[in-house]
Amino acid sequence: MSDLNGRIDAIADRIAGELVALRRQIHRRPELAFEETETAALVARELGKLDPGLRTGVGRTGVVGLIEGAQAGPTIGVRADMDALPIQEETGLPFASEVPGTSHACGHDAHTAIALGVARVVHELKGELKGRLKLFFQPAEETLAGAKAMLDDGALDNPRPDFVLGYHNWPALKAGTVGYLPGIVMASSDAFDITLKGKAGHGAHPHQGIDSLVGAAAFVSQLQSVVSREVAPMLPAVVTIGQLNAGTARNIIAALAAMKGSVRTLDAGVARQIEAAIRRMLDGIATSMRLKATMTWTRLAPVVSNDPRVLPRVVDAARSILGDANVSVLPGPSMGSEDFGWFMEAVPGAHLRIGSRIEGLDTAIHTSNYDCNDLAILTGVKAVARAVFGLAG
Ligand code: NI
């Protein structure tokens, strides 16, 4: 395998400059969720050189490609997200966004370049591959809608992957290194929308109306007891109402109150427990305060959970090519979400964090001065390409 490592190293080092140039091209032209037409066209152009039969328009703007190995074996899926954020870039970089109010502040430009690099490496070494590489270039990760859209559009069919690999650049980690965490690494995310309907009335005669605003206030307060008094204290969970609109004027009893909330957990069972508690409390408020309640519930993303049969093989592969010192265990899971969870719910997989810190730059993903270290591209290509061979036969 040391020969394989040497060959992957050599190819990745040789194409790194091209990949950085592609990342910068994508960075200049960021596109929001489900609007990634220019990015998808660039991906199709580059990937089309390796797989002329690739599929475009998967899940609206996604691209799916396939690289066959010389011998039969498992299908390894690699997924990259392509979308940008509605953030005005303030990096001052020479390749900064040319689109006002939109930027690659989460580094998905680098993710796309990494997957194109993995495709190049695997294609060049396909004579050594026992199996095949399936590539998923996904739209709309930031809205947690793109993975589901691709899966609903049959992205996992024909051939169905046996394993899936995902990754995210991570500025808390030193560039040139990767991080991993056994088990659950990112939270599930659910969204709910509630309407409480009462009856309008003159503010001077509250008994003639039914006040939805007082009901909503009581409901928001009561929700605070879900995590503190119903969820086991060792299981992390967040319940938040982030938006509440009610009423029309100072002296009118509010007929309608509308709320938007979110739930994050590190355990699918806890998410369902919280959903049941919220439904019960909403019924209670509606009954006790004479209101009509409606709620829609949407599972935005399941947990990102590393499969114990897949992660050790991916970590071994990363260690073998990057060196033990450059592969580390993450300090803990994040309550952030990532819709790669939908892929992992369907297919056993692993998710890596790729170090992207720029020393001396005080920043974080989703901030206006974010910049992803270019070294993350080279590191990502090496680790992920090597993992593809590690998971193949
Ligand atoms: Ni991201």
SS3 307: coil
pLDDT at 393: 76
Average pLDDT over residues 148-164: 98
Beta strands 349-355 and 163-170 are: parallel
Only one residue has tokens 């007891």, namely: 225
User: In the numeric block, which tokens belong to residue 209?
Assistant: 């109306």
> How far is Cα 382 from Cα 87, in angstroms, rounded to an integer?
30
pTM, full prediction: 0.93
Which segments within 201-250 are labelled E, that is strand? Answer: 201-202, 237-246
CA of 168 to the centre of ligand 1 (A): 6
pLDDT at 185: 96
pLDDT at 268: 83
CA of 167 to the centre of ligand 1 (A): 9
**What are the backbone dihedrals phi and psi of residue 348, each rounded to the nearest 5 degrees, phi first?**
-60, 140
pLDDT at 182: 98
pLDDT at 2: 61
Q: What type of residue is 16? A: A
pLDDT tens, residue by residue, 70-94: 999 999 999 999 999 999 999 999 9
pLDDT at 262: 97
CA of 86 to the centre of ligand 1 (A): 13
Mean pLDDT of the chain: 97
Task: Delimit the domains of the chain by residue range.
Answer: 2-182+308-392, 188-301
Handedness of CA 31, 36, 42, 43 (dihedral sign): positive
Residues with catalytic function: 83, 141
Q: What type of residue is 134? A: K
Beta strands 256-265 and 188-197 are: antiparallel
pLDDT at 279: 98
pLDDT at 360: 96
Name the CATH code of domain 2-182+308-392 (choices 3.40.630.10, 3.40.50.300, 3.40.630.30, 3.40.50.2300).
Answer: 3.40.630.10
CA of 33 to the centre of ligand 1 (A): 12
CA of 244 to the centre of ligand 1 (A): 27
Q: What would the DSSP string read from start to end of 16-44? A: HHHHHHHHHHHHHS---TT--HHHHHHHH
CA of 69 to the centre of ligand 1 (A): 30
Whole-number percent of the chain with pLDDT over 70:
99
CATH code reported for the domain at 188-301: 3.30.70.360
